[in-house]
Amino acid sequence: MEQISFLAFDLGATSGRSILGTLRDGKLQMKELTRFPNQILELGGHYYWNIFSLYEHLKAGMIACAKEGAKITSIGIDTWGVDFALIGEDGQILGMPLAYRDLHTTGAPEEYFAKVMPRKEVYDLTGIQVMNFNSLYQLYAMQRDHSSPLKAAVRALFMPDALSYMLTGKMATEYTIASTSQILNPRTKKMEAKLLEKMGVKGSLFGEVVPTGTVVGTLTDALAAETGLDKVPVVAVAGHDTASAVAAVPASDEKFAYLSSGTWSLMGIEVKDPVITDETAALNITNEGGVEGTTRLLKNITGMWILEQCIKEWKKEGAEYSYPEIVKMAGEATPFRSFIDPDDPSFANPPSMAAAIRNYCAASGQPVPQTHAELIRCIFESLALKYKDILEKFRVLAPFPIEKLHIIGGGSKNRLLDQFTANAIGIPVVAGPSEATAIGNIMLQARAAGCVGSLQQMRDMIAKVVETETFTPQDTAAWNEAYYKIKHLLK
Ligand code: LRH
């Protein structure tokens, strides 16, 4: 069989990568071409993404790809969710996109519900969990604050769509990334204009939603010449990184839950149709769009963010640890001493994460973790117990028995946390692939090129080539006891 190659750009909140994916005889090979930092830029009291610098990094990735001599069939881009760029009448990108950690949305959902539309109506229309940073509330805050880019905008493009626009000059709103915004109606799969119009924002801001796999356009003449790639098509893959990752779960049937583990931990199940009920509203569970019309019924859990922030802080203080060192330190610390609810608002963006953990433990009458090892142990055990708490909710909602948890994404490489999670949830954990997002991006390009058929066929192919490790529950009685002891802390 001849080989076929694709270029994937996978951008996260802290770093991005360009990956060359090649399918040969039904086997996928991946090569990382470039890796680059992505950082929130603080300016004038606001947090932004430097989309122009990201564009430079994409260009460098394309140049590296051309140098490899690989003839690529298409390019696909996935990023984190909810953020967007604004486009003016003349097609210009209006300033830098605000980052979802900007504080302008603090309290914005409550204001929106009081002034624009009640919470129940918003959830009924969108089925999306209420979180301050959803695109809907970002737009509300911008409108409230008289944002000049918003006033001048005729179009908004979510991050992957905005980057595709920079590469092709063509605009498209891809379905999975639109589905995270809390502006899309998952039943009609269209944007719900009245959510915007009722607060005075143009209902047509995001345009028509296109299905995953649509060709957005080809590289502009200028980029084709500058990078050395031909006028390659850019495909709207599952632009939402989590959707790409979930598409790459190496599962053989539907009886699984997934945990996409990175800065965020996204836990949920895959179902055929949206589930929008009083129960899901009360649990604040989200219905995001998946591949092949599936619904990703999931919940955001604050994931490695807490550890990442501690690591950053300790580095500034002169203590730098490798990942294996971190895992070793946690493994050697005393078990079951103190716990946090990772989703407590005090961990959203505190000046010092270590201090926030210590304050939380003191305020909840627990031993205060002193050493770095104690802090890390507290984070890992707390995450495992939070995963159990959320999984219990999905067990009730799932129309099938959940037989295992697939942990995918970078966090799946943390074998200690994988084992803790299996111990806490009492069912096997299948860890890997850690590269799920990039694999999903590449396979969705392969699907658009007609090399793979169904989602299941894609997953079967992935299962054949990726390495996974299964963790069987141990010490379940001790973990259960710990869970019931701290359950009251988990909101
Ligand atoms: C993970 C993620 C998640 C969103 C968050 C903003 O990268 O896309 O699914 O909720 O970023």
* Contact call for residues 215 and 233 (beta carbons, < 8 A): yes
Tell me the best of 240, 259, 299 to mutate to test the pocket of ligand 1, counting ligand atoms within 8 Å of each CB and taking the most. Answer: 240
Q: How far is the CA of 386 from the centre of ligand 1 (A)?
A: 18
Instruction: Tell me how far the alpha carbon of residue 20 lies from the centroid of ligand 1, in angstroms.
Output: 23
CB of 137 within 6 A of ligand 1: the answer is no
Is 479 a pocket residue for ligand 1 (Cβ < 6 Å)? Answer: no
Digitized pLDDT (tens) for each residue of the chain, 491 residues in all: 589 999 999 999 989 999 999 999 889 999 999 999 998 999 999 999 999 999 999 999 999 999 999 899 999 999 999 999 999 999 999 999 999 999 999 999 999 999 999 999 999 999 999 999 999 999 999 999 999 999 999 999 999 999 999 999 999 999 999 999 999 999 999 999 999 999 999 999 999 999 999 999 999 999 999 999 999 999 999 999 999 999 999 999 999 999 999 999 999 999 999 999 999 999 999 999 999 999 999 999 999 999 999 999 999 999 999 999 999 999 999 999 999 999 999 999 899 999 999 999 999 999 999 999 999 999 999 999 999 999 999 999 999 999 999 999 999 999 999 999 999 999 999 999 999 999 999 999 999 999 998 999 999 999 999 999 999 999 999 999 999 999 999 98
Domains, the chain, in order of start with CATH, read 4-239 (3.30.420.40), 241-432+468-491 (3.30.420.40)
Tell me how far the alpha carbon of residue 81 lies from the centroid of ligand 1, in angstroms.
5
State in Å: Cα 83 to ligand 1 middle. Answer: 10
Q: pTM of the entire structure?
A: 0.96
Is the CB–ligand 1 distance for residue 409 below 6 Å? no
- Yes or no: say if 246 and 270 are a contact pair by the CB < 8 Å rule: yes
- Tell me which of 17, 47, 79, 241 to substitute to probe ligand 1's pocket, judged by most ligand atoms within 8 Å of the beta carbon: 241
Catalytic (active site) residue 241: yes
- Active-site option among 10, 83, 241, 389: 241
Question: Is residue 201 a contact partner of residue 144, using CB atoms and an 8 Å limit?
Answer: no
Q: Whose CA is nearest to atom 8 of ligand 1?
A: 80
Residue owning the nearest CA to atom 6 of ligand 1: 81
Altogether, the residues listed in the chain come to a count of 491
The residue nearest atom 7 of ligand 1, judged by CA position, is: 80
**Can you tell me which atom of ligand 1 is nearest the CA of 264?**
1
Q: Are the CB atoms for 83 and 98 separated by under 8 Å?
A: yes
Q: How far is the CA of 440 from the centre of ligand 1 (A)?
A: 15
CA of 264 to the centre of ligand 1 (A): 6
